[in-house]
Amino acid sequence: MSESDDGNLSVVYVSGNQGMLDDVKELWEELNSMLLQCSVNFKPHFGTMTFEKRKLALLKKTEHGEIHVDVAVNQLGNQKVGYCISTINEQKEGEIESIFVEKGYRGLRIGDALMRKAVAWMDSKDVEKKLVSVSVGNEQVFGFYGRYSFCPRRTMLEQTKNL
């Protein structure tokens, strides 16, 4: 556990592995609702996605890899206010799977701390590359990722319905 003081706000960071996934269920659901709202072509995907499905997919992806979870906790009230889930797959590719900070806590460098912790974890594991997927409609986050040298590389298209 590590601490950082943001004015009167005292945030502690707790890290762990897949055993901590359930701790971020509510925050993940807020992120999924946000992505549902801003999605252009994939609203049904976000509308039918559940935390349980996402968790299963993460566990499957990392059967021969690893999951890392960082959670930001406001010590006042012991409230979870942000998280980042990162993974390393069998090919040694690191990925920021999900990062979210509660609206009222943004701009306080919590996202920065979460991002740096995730990247430091990947670096400690000597990953081959580091990736993050951004949903179309949420491009506003490019500027944030750009601060950590994550840049758009390709646009992947996915079929929305069968011909």
Ligand X SMILES: CC(C)(COP(=O)(O)OP(=O)(O)OC[C@H]1O[C@@H](n2cnc3c(N)ncnc32)[C@H](O)[C@@H]1OP(=O)(O)O)[C@@H](O)C(=O)NCCC(=O)NCCS
Residue from 33, 147, 152, 160 in contact with ligand X (CB under 6 A): 147
Q: Are strands 66-74 and 9-16 parallel, antiparallel or unpaired?
A: antiparallel
* Residue 52 burial (C-beta neighbours within 10 Å; 0-12, 13-18, 19+): exposed
Q: How far is the CB of 107 from ligand X (least distance, A)?
A: 5
Q: Does 99 bind ligand X (CB under 6 A)?
A: yes
CB-CB contact of 124 with 68 (8 Å)? no
Residue from 87, 111, 127, 130 in contact with ligand X (CB under 6 A): 111
> What CA–CA distance (Å, rounded) separates 12 from 62?
27
Residue from 24, 88, 101, 119 in contact with ligand X (CB under 6 A): 101
Q: Does 138 bind ligand X (CB under 6 A)?
A: yes
Q: Does 27 bind ligand X (CB under 6 A)?
A: no
Q: Does 144 bind ligand X (CB under 6 A)?
A: yes
Instruction: Indicate the DSSP class of residue 23.
Output: G
Reading the block at residue 67, the tokens are 């999951």
Footprint of ligand X (CB under 6 A): 31, 34, 99-101, 106-112, 134, 138, 140-141, 143-144, 147
